Amino acid sequence: MRYHQNQMQKLVNNDPQLKKELNEIKSSMSLENEYALKALYHAAVKDGGKFQHAYQELDAEFKKQ
């Protein structure tokens, strides 16, 4: 599973909890959105993270297009 910024942004936009976590990462670490998204991906999606299944569904959807 690879990181794709567009998919991660869509996942965040669809989930209020992820949006809150993204904003916390951005403010606590003073990161720009692009880097905060990548940090959130590694924390909440990759390697069995809580949102891995939802991300994989988006990945399959993007591959069909």
pLDDT (0 to 100) of residue 14: 94
pLDDT (0 to 100) of residue 46: 94
Question: What is the residue extent of each domain of the chain?
Answer: 5-64
Q: With contact defined as beta carbons under 8 Å apart, do 10 and 51 qualify?
A: no
Closest by Cα among 36, 6, 34 to 18: 36
Q: Is 0.75 surpassed by the pTM of this model?
A: yes
65 residues of the chain, pLDDT tens digit each: 899 999 999 999 999 999 999 999 999 999 999 999 999 999 999 999 999 999 999 988 888 87
pLDDT (0 to 100) of residue 61: 85
Q: Which residues contact 14 (CB under 8 A, 6 or more apart)?
A: 54
